[in-house]
Structure 1
């Protein structure tokens, strides 16, 4: 099986706090395990190039990890709560 998974699948973070997402590319011997991350709503949460989510304002968003070749994606639900 080939693809990418994102863990944890659901994340809850407070405004101003961070949480780490981990993307796992399979198969284990894949030549390019690079992924990029994007938040569907950067007003709610941003995500760094290494999968660290930062809460910006209360709400919900989805963070998607996409393999470098663009063929596989995985998503995590992110909920941001007030401090």
Structure 2
């Protein structure tokens, strides 16, 4: 145990809270069968409470576009869907438009 001098106060680690999350893109134009990896980051970028493994994701319409646990979107059928990523109380979305494959 290190010696401490009178007046020394142990320092607590500083917790920098996440104030928002963002996605690597806000919209995605895809063709049926395409996949797109999405990156989710915390704001501020040095937030100490952010854990990317705790980000959840959901599609507004799995018949149009699905999203996997690793945040990858897959285009399934023609139409539009919104993918929502969530961390704690924060959300970010990607609006996906799927067109027919050529």
Runs of 4+ in 1 over 6 A off after TM superposition: none
Q: Which has more radius of gyration?
A: 2
Structure 2 unaligned runs (5+)? Answer: 1-17
Relative contact order higher in (CA < 8 Å, ≥ 6 apart): 1
Matched, 1:23 2:23: no
Matched, 1:4 2:25: no
**RMSD (Å), alpha carbons:** 1.3
The residue that corresponds to 1:59 in the other structure is 79
Q: Which structure shows the higher strand fraction?
A: 1
Whole-angstrom CA distance in 2 between matches of 1:14 and 1:39: 17
TM-score in terms of structure 2 length: 0.73
TM-score in terms of structure 1 length: 0.88
What number of residue pairs does the alignment pair up? 81
Whole-angstrom CA distance in 1 between matches of 2:26 and 2:57: 14
